[in-house]
Every structure is written in C-alpha cells, then in structure tokens.
A and B are shown apart, each in its own frame.
Chain A
C-alpha cells in the first residue's frame, strides 16, 4: 500500500518525532510511506473561523498534494477528521470538486485507527515501563470513532499499564483558536482535565492529537505536576528514548 503522511502543522513545528514515529509504524505495518512536499496544513483554522474561501483554497492544495496515493494518514484525529468529514461539507455546493473531496475522504485516516482497522495491526514490539492514562481527543473520538484502537495497541506495549481516565471523552479545552480567544474558559476546562489525570495516579498521559497534548502538558507543568505527556505514536513506535516528554528539558 502506498501511504502518504499528512504530517500536520503542529507535528511539523513542535514535535517532528511524532511524524517519524508514524512513518516507522506505517512501515512496520507493511506500507510504503511518502511525505508529499507540497503539504502545509489542512485548513482547519480558516474553516473553523468561518473563512470558507481560504479553507477551500488550502483544501484544493491538499487534493493535489495527496492525489494518487492509496491512503492518506495523519497522526491526528482532528486533521484526519477535516479530510474525512469536513472536506465533503466544505465542497457540498461545488459539484466540480465535491467528488474529489469525497474520494479523498474515503481514503483518509487517523494513524492508529488506520493501523488497526485497515492494516490489521494487533500488537507492537515496543516497551515502556509506565502507568499511563489515555485522553480521547474529541475529533478522533466523535468524528472518526477512535476509542478502542489505541488502547488495544497500547496494551501490547511491554511494561505499560493503563488506568482509565474518568471523563476521558470530555474536551481538554484546547479547541484550536478557542484556547487563545477564551483563555479563562479554556483554563477551567484544562484545570479540570489535569485534576482528572492526576487522580488516576498515572505517570503519563497519552493522546493522539498534539494540540490537546500541548494544552494538557502545559497545564500539568504550570501546576507543578510530574506527569509526562506524549503522543501515542511515540510510545507505539518505541521512540520514547529519542525525545523527552512534551515540554520537558532536553
């Protein structure tokens, strides 16, 4: 299978290791992986700000960059949801581009659900000795049905014990530009989330979306809590030694 990686703008800027972890996992699953150079962002900031024209222009660029691959995979439920769910809505009134959007939507995936549901991956070779808890990022959970897949693969990581997070399906307060536009409300939401995470007694919190992880890690640090935050792909790919936890000193 020829798979194109949608790196996502946050992984590109903040945490390239997540991108390399995704490549490694996809290759382990038997895929040949390309990273189209012509990609930037999925356009979600424009789309969710009501700027349809810019969102469409960026989406058309994504159509070009990812044409011809069997699948498009992103280490983010939010960006994958943009391709899979929102591009067809964005072009609903555009008969010329709607079929292209629908065709792309049908072969676009969030990384971990792609590994499990499409590639049939059931276990990984990694090990990591931590008690972890898992936050279900909203778009992956509710737009794409990502829930059991990461837990299934994490259960195969040697040394990992999973403590379920109460309210794992409740938003952490990131919400893209929301956390900047309404910082006080966002703060309350991530404060509640941090308290829930701490109450599990876990050493580490994992999730499949870097935006949520930056938010949760930033709050946990501000509160002085010693809880690691990492993207699930880093753990599944066995790359935790290559990079410190999100926000930790190098």
Chain B
C-alpha cells in the first residue's frame, strides 16, 4: 500500500498546484487545500488502523531497501502523531478562510501553498525513518513556517528573521549530529543505526552526536532557555498561521526527541548509560518554573499563551526524560492533548482578533456577553491546560505526576503542581477580565449594548468541535493509552 508515500506527496503536489492555479483563480485555492489535507487525514487514519490491526508498517521509497534507500517506518508512536498533525491542520483550515479573504486576498495562493507545504513537511518529519530525510523535511517545515509567520503585520518580519537565525542553528546542530552518527555507523536509517550503536555506546562521538542532536532539537522545540524565538514569532504571526504553527511545530519536535530517545539511541543508552536523566529533568523543572513566571508577567493574551506553550513543552521533555513508563506515556499523551488544547486556545484568540479587538488584557472586557461561543471554547481550552478533569489535560498530567512519583523526582512533581496553579491564575485573570469588565474599556462608548458579536460560523464551529474534542479525548484516554501508547513505549521500560 502506498499510503505512507502519498501522505507526504499529496500535500506536496497540492501545494505546487495551489501556487500555480492560485495565480489564475483565487477561489480554487481553499478547496484544493481542503482536498489535499483531507486526503492526508484520511490516509493517516488508515495507517493508524493498519498499525493497530497488523503491526508496524514498512514502506521503502522507490523499492530501495534501507540502508541504501529511504524507508518510512510507521509504528504506534508515528501513527498517533500523524493523525494528530493531519487532524489539527485540517480542523484549522476552515478557520483560516475568512481571514485570508479579508487580509491576504492578493496572496491567497501563496498562503495556502505554504500552509499545505508546511503540513507536508510536518507529516514527513513524523513518518520518515531516515535521519537525513528528517533534516530535509524539518527545513521544509521550518522555511514555510518562517514565510507564513512573516505575513503578519508590524514586527512580524523581524520576529521571523530572528526565528530564521535561531531555527537554522537548531536544524544545523541536528544535521551535525546526524553527521557524527554517520561517521560512526555508516548508516542514515534510524533503525539501522539503532542496531549498530549498542557496541559503540562508550564512544565519545556517539555521546557528542547525542548531545548536539538534543540541543538542536531543543532549540527547535523552544525548551527554556532556548525558547527566545517563540514568543515574538507566535505573537506577531497572523492568527490563522499561529493556530497552525503553535499546536504543531513544537509538538512534532517533541516527537523527534522521543523518537531519538526510544528508537535511535535506545532507552538503555539514553537513560542508563548516560546517567543524565535526572539532570535533564531538573532542566525541565527550571524551564517550567521560568516559563510560568514569564507568562505571569505578560499583558497580552497571545504572548501569555506563547509562554504557556513553552511550559507545556517542558512538561513533555521532563516526562520523557523521567525514564519510566508512566513518564513516557504522559509525554506521548501530552503530545496529542497539548496539540488539541493549543489549537483550541489559539483559535479562540484568533476569533477575538478577527472581530477587530486587540488581544491585550485591557481590550478583553465584556467578551462573555459579546462572544459567548468563543469564550466557551477558550474556557474549555483553559480548563484543559489547567488540568481539570474530564478534559484531556488532566489525564496527561496524571501520567506525568505518576511518573514523577515513581521516579522519586519530587522536584518535577512540585514544578508540575506549581505550573498548574500558575496556569489557573493566568487563565482566570483573563476570564475575570472578560466576565467582569464592561464592554470596550479602551474603545470608549459602545453602541451595540448587549448584542452578540460572535465570530463567523466558519471560525466558531472548528473551535467548538475542538472544545468538545478535548472532553471526548479526555474520557477516551484509557483507550488511547491501552491501545496505542502502551505499544509506543518499549516493552523494556518499567
């Protein structure tokens, strides 16, 4: 079956098609994008079912066996993240329509081409089994990201340029790590490398490869203190872009990190041989606390959300590096949960911004009356980020805390609780503003009184779908863990 290859090539070709036909007829861009992403979504779900029923799926590009050819290797971890990526990008698409129509009308073709191309890059990162191929797709996703973010106003090009510089360092470090691995093993295929590495665990080159790759990946996932590019890039990006980029890019990089930890450098190396895990979890603790404090200092909703992303990333890093089954389960579960929660809150922020309101806290007055559905969505996302059952955020926190208790790492436990409390304060500050303050504090007198000024349906429906999804996903956590994530964590982990 050709699904793995089609998964990436369909959006790739779709992007090409959109950029060409977009010059001729603007109206065809959105349907084309929808079709490409819809096909990808369908294929990723097919792949997930294939993995669940038949086990891992191997696909050799062009029929060349590895290590000569590039192979796509889809196991439970991949399959889950593939569905998450394609679902998030597909659900976000309707919400972009009105925006692009209003603000980017002359650049509709390029916008959707970049959008679909970015998704192709992200899907490719997740599905590939070749380390160098991952670098290429990483850069595809990154470059399209830079371009999309730069489409915003004001400081966007500068923020994007900053992102370019830092992101390139990150990707280059990753490439360097791949180079070192190639020197030592002579192979670029992840699974091949994994079979060749165990004899070489004591080698300094392998350690250097690991360290450099990790740092590169951490830069790209915005692990504090390497996160400096994220807040400005995500704040100044236009709303339809930030609701695509924010949920996905950092999470896919977390996936890459977990893939490196589990499949390339096996847990034996990463957790036992290196004896670094406790130190890295302490780094995560610092990251969580630092990001939480920075978030408290913000006066703008989107900027606050950007720092929330930074602390969520730190959750996942810490959880993965705890080195036990519960921690890894929490980390992987959090990939899907966080993607959805972030999508939810950024969609809500996008809705608010679409109606012409600023996103500074002082502009948020009276929103509960004006935009009740958007606020319902924001509330659901907020509760999930805080970790209130039965939303999904609670369940990944459950595993992360369990992992911390089992590993005896009480610093991480305290950091998790601390950041939950900080998130409570952060979001209730916002909700208070929206609930208590009369409408339009900073815009002076308002004419419509109590009438509702909700965002258009194409933006509200995705938001509400995701908000409901947060609760449904929470209730189905058990199914997710027992059927999928359980197999994603290597059997040897306790």
A binds B: no
Q: Which residues of B contact A (CB under 8 A)?
A: none
